[in-house]
Structure 1
Amino acid sequence: MKYQISLFLLLTTLLFSCQNENEKRFAENAKEAKKKEVIFNNINKGWTFLDEPINEISESQLNSWTEWREFMKEIGEKPRKTIGAFQKKSAAISKKAMALNNNIPAQFNQPQIKSRISILITKIKMLDLFIHLSKIPDDKVVFLIQEINKELISLERQMDKIVEKAKIPKEQGEEDFLRMLDTTRAIPNSAPPIDPNIPRVE
């Protein structure tokens, strides 16, 4: 009889402890779901990219640059419903950004454009990294989206400067002068160095 009572008490204790564990687990899951919902809402609210050219000059000049058009189209499409959708979109944007280094139009294939593209790619890769972390820092994701928008504006303004500068007519002889300033075209000095110990006739 004592054996049955102790067995009954043991089973009752196990049953209550299991219920307590389940309640704790449900509470933790609810808390985690609430956190994820807050993160999703913050990212959803802050996910606004500048997907329109800032003026007509860059728009008309960039029509021939396929990689740029595809990149702008990709950032213009906003994901919906889940964090997973934002993660997929971030990876797609990162891939399209990497392609920007290919086939840059000759007019824009200049160091100041390439450096801005590199900065843009770096910030997009950081966004992709942060959004794929197990604990997503939503404030950093939103901040990086704003930074990417600033880099896009900077890049497009630089393109506009190049287009405007190309419209200015060159003066007569200016091209020859610029070529003379180019040190890569200079004739190398092939004469041997002068030995200071050799006597000179004066």
Structure 2
Amino acid sequence: MINKIVVLLSLVFILYSCQNDDQKRIAENKKEIQKREVILKNIEKGWVFYDTPVTEAAENSLANWNEWRVFFVELAQKPKKTIGCFQQKSKALTKKAMALNDNIPGAYSIPAIKSRISTVVAKTQMLDLYINLDNIPDKKVVKLIAEINLELVSLQRQMEKTVDKSKIPVEVGESDLIKMRDASRAIPNVIIDENIPRVE
């Protein structure tokens, strides 16, 4: 009889503890859902890209540079509703940013512009990384979006400088001077040893 009472009390205790665990789990799930909603709202507020060119050179590049135009179209489309949509958008942005390195117009194929493109690519990859974490750091994501905007403005201003430099006329003799400064065309400095026999 005592055994039956002990078994019955232990069953009641186990059922009560399991029920208590379920309530804890439900409360934790609610907290997690609320946390994700706050993160989503913060990311949604901060997801503002400069999707229009800020310089004339960048605007003219939209017509000639297909990858540049596709990247700006991708920036203009804002995802909605879920974190998954933002994750997909960040992956698409990363792919489009990496494509900027392909088919760079000849006028912009200089180290200053290529380095700025690499910075934009790195920042979009970081955005993709942060937004795909299990515990999304929403403040870092919003900060990265602002940094990407700054890098895009810097890239566009460098494009404008490049166009302005190309408009400066070359002075008479300047091209010859540039050729003379080229180290690959210079006569090598070879010390001639007088003691070595030479064929003349």
Give the TM-score normalised by structure 2: 0.90
Partner of 1:195: 193
Q: Is the 8 A contact 2:74 2:92 kept in 1?
A: yes
Partner in structure 2 of residue 93 of structure 1? 93
2:39/2:136 contact within 8 Å kept: yes
Match of 2:84 in 1: 84
CA displacement at 1:31 relative to structure 2? 1.0
SS of corresponding position for 2:104: coil
Structure 2 residue aligned with 1:59: 59
Q: Which runs of 5+ in 1 are unaligned?
A: none
Amino acid at match of 2:188: N
CA distance in 2, matches of 1:57, 1:187: 36
Cα deviation, residue 5, structure 1: 3.1
- Give per-residue Cα distances to partners, 1:101-128, cap 9 Å, x unaligned: 1100001011110111111111111111
Q: Contact between 2:56 and 2:160, CA under 8 Å: does it hold in 1?
A: no
Cα distance, 1:154–1:62 mapped onto 2, change above 3 Å: same
Any gaps of 5 or more consecutive residues in structure 2? none
**Alpha-carbon distance between aligned partners in 2 of 1:182 and 1:52, rounded to the nearest angstrom:** 40
Instruction: Supply the RMSD in Å over aligned alpha carbons.
Output: 1.8
Task: Name the SS of the counterpart of 1:26 in structure 2.
Answer: helix
The list of structure 1 runs, each at least 4 consecutive aligned residues, that deviate by more than 4 angstroms after superposition, is none
| Residue 75 of structure 1, CA deviation | 1.5
**Equivalent runs, 1:62-141 vs 2, <5 Å:** 62-141=62-141
TM-score normalized by structure 1?
0.89
Query: What aligned pairs does 1:17-28 form with structure 2 within 5 A after superposition?
Result: 17-28=17-28
How far residue 16 of structure 1 moved from its aligned partner, in angstroms, is 1.1
CA deviation profile, 1:129-151 (whole Å, cap 9, x unmatched): 11111111111111111111000
Query: Residue 50 of structure 1 aligns to which amino acid in structure 2?
Result: Y
Identity of aligned residues (%): 54
Residue 189 of structure 1 aligns with an amino acid whose one-letter code is: P
Q: CA deviation at 1:80?
A: 0.7
Q: Secondary structure at the match of 2:135?
A: coil
